[in-house]
Amino acid sequence: MLIHRVSLLTQEIRVKEIDITPEQLKAWEDGMLIQNAMPHLNPSDREFIISGSTDKEWDAAFEEA
């Protein structure tokens, strides 16, 4: 399923193909914990769904000085 998000970190529009069903997305949107609604996803894909952020954006925003 194509997931469209605006990154909370950069405000850029992102699109990513993630292996979920519309029912799983709806379950999460209705309040189910994402790890319960989509237990097969890796943390990176779950974070993308939640915040629209990619690993690269996350690393850049929170890299240690």
Could you tell me the two tokens for 58? 């996350």
Residue of higher predicted confidence among 40 and 63: 40
Q: What average pLDDT does the chain have?
A: 95
Model confidence band, residue 62 (pLDDT cutoffs 50, 70, 90): confident
9 φ, ψ to 5°?
-90, -40
State pTM to two decimals. Answer: 0.90
Helix or strand or coil: residue 17? strand
Quote the DSSP letter at residue 30: T
The b-or-e profile of 3-25 (16+ CB within 10 A means b, else e) is eebebeeeeeebeeebebeeebb
